Amino acid sequence: MATTNPLGINVEKYKYGFFEPEKYVFKARRGLNAAVVNEISHMKSEPDWMRAFRLHAYEHYTQRPMPKWGADLGTIDFDNIFYYIKPTEKRADSWDDLPPEIKRTYDRLGIPEAERKFLAGVGAQYESESVYHNLKDEWEKLGVIFLDTDSALKQHPDIVREYFGTVVPPEDNKLAALNSAVWSGGSFVYIPAGVRVDIPLQAYFRINAQNAGQFERTLIICEPGSYVHYVEGCTAPIYTSDSLHSAVVEIIVKEGARCRYTTIQNWSTNVYNLVTKRAVAYRDATMEWIDGNLGSKLTMKYPSVYMVEPGAKAEILSVAFAGKGQHQDPGGKVIHAAPHTQSVVVSKSISKDGGRAGYRGLVKIYDGAKGSRSAVRCDALILDDRSRSDTYPTMEIDEEDVSITHEATVSKVSDEQLFYLMSRGVKEDEAMNMIVRGFVEPIVKELPLEYAVELNRLIALEMEGSVG
Amino acid sequence: MADLEIKDLTVQVEDKVILKGANLAINKGEIHALMGPNGSGKSTLANVLMGNPFYQVVKGEVLYKGEDLLAMSPDERARKGLFIAFQYPVSIPGVTMSSFLRTAVSARRGYEKELIPVGEFQKLLKNKMAELKIEPAIVTRYVNEGFSGGEKKRAEILQMAMLEPEIAIMDETDSGLDIDSVKVVSDGINRMYEHSDRRMGILVITHYSRILHFIQPSYVHVMFDGRFVVSGGPELAEELEQTGYEGIKSQFEVIAAEVASEGAVRRAGKVFWVVH
């Protein structure tokens, strides 16, 4: 039977390969080999095509060299990571079913409060697997699917199989291959044609065990004319050794649909955050990425939008804050592959205490993408002399009938601004805070209120002690 | 002792000495005007009084209600009731006027951890904007961002009204304003003065005597080249209007020469002049 899946991977080839059923343990061991990949798939009782997909990806991962550009990834000890940890026996359907320890963690994150405010379905990722997922009844009636990706694979195998790995194939890059091999959890969102989900869908993600690699896989499908705003908030406690977060997010925005994907992440400062996020936008569709990057030791993340049909639009807004010992290397990619496509990229980076933050981006306009427009703006704010900002804008423009703008500014908090605020009675640290908050305001105002508040609070925390 | 007492204040920027031993005393309830040609040091004086770190005080002292003003940080000065309406207020992108005003009013009123309750603040803001005939939309905009010259000046006056200072310095608040705007701004300042039961001290720094038709000073001072050279009553402003700074300057030089040989106080024409 079925020898290939839509990705062209030979399922039969991997059907019995590397299969070691007797070696299951509750906690997967450190490090990765084909047997671990097999175990993960077996423990999840996945269909053969997914196991084949994983093994194929693993093979590619072993052969693909580590990226040499950007930040130094050589310090990650890939053999010292747990690639899969199952936190509880079964998923909880209501808040009351959650184990007390997990509840306490979420209490600190404010999830129950979010529930009380009738926010959208809450999906929370504890270690590697979703333990709690909820979706409002009315959306279920409309045919909206919001599940963790593992459950989606079981309950909606055909939809998952049709789209999984089509936007970010395992061969895309080494870390995408790694994620494809060992992925666990993440969100699956399906919005039927014409359905508008007016309240944001929210999921909290956490890394909770030391050396727990977190490889969630998110897939969002917006059928024609639909709308969804998906919000992902990440926080992680402090650990003593390095952790890796390597997610893949794939989004398909069909004709006339609009998808907004908002991330506020605050990984602890030893986490390597290497994420592949990509969307495909079809005719007159709109894809918006809003990305707030605080925390982590290193973040490399370039949300991208492939505009493949006329009239598609892309917007990428990002904020990065790099403190002591941190390197934030965010950015974005907009690919104009059809006429009359439009993109806007706004990046704001802040560095202090020797941190390094910046922007790395690509604007690509293919020959024939007539009448396309792109505007890129990146602003960097450097808070002291030890910190740095780097901007790497790349433009590949193969069509003449286009309009492109690029603006970049690098600034320091000016003494005049500080003096002005202080001359009204505002203390120096608060004045500094106000200026930094104002700097990121164009992005913060795009966030749902509770996330705007959280981001401002996180920035205030980062700013503590910055006035000497 | 005066509420604000400036003694032999000498100030430089980088290597250039700008104030060369300025002396002035202002009490609460008094309205003073400080005039002088461009580059005479008027704005420098205002900025030094507020604590602008760009300027270095090399000599002299300033006492504010008996305390060493120069030892205080700018925010401390503001919380103690000193205010300056800037000539060139800077913009703070992304910070709305209303959040800025709420933070500033809270600081001035001694709120430590929390802010002034939002209802109380809104009521205050609404009243002050109505009194000053300021478009309410201004408080939803970012501080001075994209403001016209007139809007900036009105925004400074709004801040002054909200903070209710004890001594306020208006640094060329009239420059760049058309005559109607000068009148509106002056009416606002006069109302604040009355509102304080004539207890607010005001130093109006101006290049032209125009604003002094609307705000009546009790004392007028003229600065040349980093020094207060003459002081007098309101009639000194009129005299200036007639003769221009050049006229005053030539008279001053004559008087200065006479003072040097004869003594400290001189009467010249209708004007009573004190040479510092």
Best of B90, B141, B162, B166 to disrupt the A interface (most A CBs within 10 Å) is: B90
CB A130 within 8 A of CB A148: yes
How does pLDDT run across A149-164, given as a tens digit for each residue?
988 999 999 999 999 9
Taking the Cβ of residue B73 and every Cβ of chain A, the question of whether any pair is shorter than 8 Å is answered with yes
- Put simply, the answer to whether B94 touches A414 (Cβ < 8 Å) is no
Taking the Cβ of residue B54 and every Cβ of chain A, the question of whether any pair is shorter than 8 Å is answered with yes
Which helix (H) or strand (E) segment holds residue A323: the answer is: none
> Over 70: is that where the pLDDT of B26 sits?
yes
- Put simply, the answer to whether B86 touches A414 (Cβ < 8 Å) is no
Best of A424, A429, A434, A445 to disrupt the B interface (most B CBs within 10 Å) is: A424
Q: Which residues of A touch B (CB under 8 A)?
A: 414-417, 419-428, 430-431, 434-435, 437-442
Cβ neighbourhood burial of A401 (10 Å; 0-12, 13-18, 19+): exposed
Taking the Cβ of residue B95 and every Cβ of chain A, the question of whether any pair is shorter than 8 Å is answered with yes
A445: closest chain B residue by CA: B94
A307: which 2 tokens? 């505009």
Write down the pLDDT at residue A104: 57
A166: which 2 tokens? 């089509």
- Put simply, the answer to whether B94 touches A423 (Cβ < 8 Å) is no
Helix, coil or strand: residue A67: coil
Taking the Cβ of residue B92 and every Cβ of chain A, the question of whether any pair is shorter than 8 Å is answered with yes
Q: Which positions in chain A touch B54 (Cβ < 8 Å)? A: 415-416, 419
- Put simply, the answer to whether A420 touches B159 (Cβ < 8 Å) is no
- Put simply, the answer to whether A425 touches B94 (Cβ < 8 Å) is no
Taking the Cβ of residue B153 and every Cβ of chain A, the question of whether any pair is shorter than 8 Å is answered with no
Write down the pLDDT at residue A15: 39
A416: closest chain B residue by CA: B90
Q: Provide mean pLDDT across the span B33-47.
A: 92
B113: closest chain A residue by CA: A430
- Put simply, the answer to whether A425 touches B53 (Cβ < 8 Å) is no
Write down the pLDDT at residue B262: 58
Its CATH class, for the domain covering B4-90+165-274, is: alpha beta
B9: which 2 tokens? 């204040």
Residues 6+ apart with CB under 8 A from A138: none
> pLDDT averaged over chain B?
88
- Put simply, the answer to whether A424 touches B54 (Cβ < 8 Å) is no
Nearest to A424 among B52, B53, B163 (CB): B163
Taking the Cβ of residue B77 and every Cβ of chain A, the question of whether any pair is shorter than 8 Å is answered with yes
Write down the pLDDT at residue A267: 78
Nearest to B92 among A434, A440, A442 (CB): A434
Residues 6+ apart with CB under 8 A from A453: none
Write down the pLDDT at residue B144: 96
Q: What is the dihedral of CA B236, B239, B240, B244, to 10 degrees?
A: -160
Q: Which positions in chain A touch B92 (Cβ < 8 Å)? A: 417, 420-421, 434-435, 438
The DSSP output letter for A138 is H
Reported confidence tier of residue B33, pLDDT bands at 50, 70, 90: very high
Q: In this predicted complex, what is the ipTM? A: 0.92
Reported confidence tier of residue B272, pLDDT bands at 50, 70, 90: very low
B131 vs A426 pLDDT, higher one:
A426
A413: closest chain B residue by CA: B92
A247: which 2 tokens? 């997610």
Instruction: Work out how many CB contacts closer than 8 A connect A with B.
Output: 84
Minimal C-alpha gap between B8 and chain A (Å): 23
Write down the pLDDT at residue B87: 93
pLDDT along chain A (468 residues), means of 10: 44 40 49 89 93 96 88 83 62 54 54 37 41 58 88 95 96 95 91 91 56 78 97 59 84 98 83 94 97 89 96 96 92 96 96 93 96 96 91 94 94 91 95 92 84 77 62
Q: Which positions in chain A touch B156 (Cβ < 8 Å)? A: none
Write down the pLDDT at residue A450: 72
Nearest to A419 among B74, B104, B159 (CB): B74
Q: Provide mean pLDDT across the span B51-62.
A: 95
Write down the pLDDT at residue A235: 55
Minimal C-alpha gap between A414 and chain B (Å): 10
A212: which 2 tokens? 């727990």
HEC secondary structure over chain B: CCCEEEEEEEEEECCEEEEEEEEEEECCCCEEEEECCCCCCHHHHHHHHHCCCCCEEEEEEEEECCEEHHHCCHHHHHHCCEEEECCCCCCEEEEEHHHHHHHHHHHHCCCCCCCCCHHHHHHHHHHHHHHCCCCHHHHHCEECCCCCHHHHHHHHHHHHHHHCCCEEEEECCCCCCCHHHHHHHHHHHHHHHHHCCCCCEEEEEECCCHHHHCCCCCEEEEEECCEEEEEECHHHHHHHHHHHHHHHHHHHHHHHHHHHHHCCEEEECCEEEECC
Cα separation, B138 vs B121, whole angstroms: 16
Minimal C-alpha gap between A239 and chain B (Å): 31
A268: which 2 tokens? 């602890």
Q: Residue written as tokens 């809270």?
A: B106
- Put simply, the answer to whether B94 touches A437 (Cβ < 8 Å) is yes
Write down the pLDDT at residue A111: 47
CB A251 within 8 A of CB A220: yes
The DSSP output letter for A199 is S
Taking the Cβ of residue B111 and every Cβ of chain A, the question of whether any pair is shorter than 8 Å is answered with no
Q: Which positions in chain A touch B89 (Cβ < 8 Å)? A: 420
B:179-218 residues touching chain A, CB 8 A cutoff: none
Pairing outcome for strands B227-232 and B219-224? antiparallel
Neighbouring-strand partners of residue A406: A376
- Put simply, the answer to whether B94 touches A417 (Cβ < 8 Å) is no
Taking the Cβ of residue B75 and every Cβ of chain A, the question of whether any pair is shorter than 8 Å is answered with yes
- Put simply, the answer to whether B103 touches A437 (Cβ < 8 Å) is no
How does pLDDT run across B60-97, given as a tens digit for each residue?
999 999 999 999 999 999 999 999 999 999 999 999 99
Taking the Cβ of residue B170 and every Cβ of chain A, the question of whether any pair is shorter than 8 Å is answered with no
Neighbouring-strand partners of residue B54: none
- Put simply, the answer to whether B163 touches A415 (Cβ < 8 Å) is no
Write down the pLDDT at residue A355: 94
A425: closest chain B residue by CA: B75
How does pLDDT run across B187-211, given as a tens digit for each residue?
999 999 999 999 999 999 998 888 9
Taking the Cβ of residue B110 and every Cβ of chain A, the question of whether any pair is shorter than 8 Å is answered with no
Write down the pLDDT at residue A234: 60
Q: What is the dihedral of CA A34, A40, A43, A45, to 10 degrees?
A: -90
A135: which 2 tokens? 């979706």
B79: closest chain A residue by CA: A425
Nearest to A425 among B75, B89, B92 (CB): B75
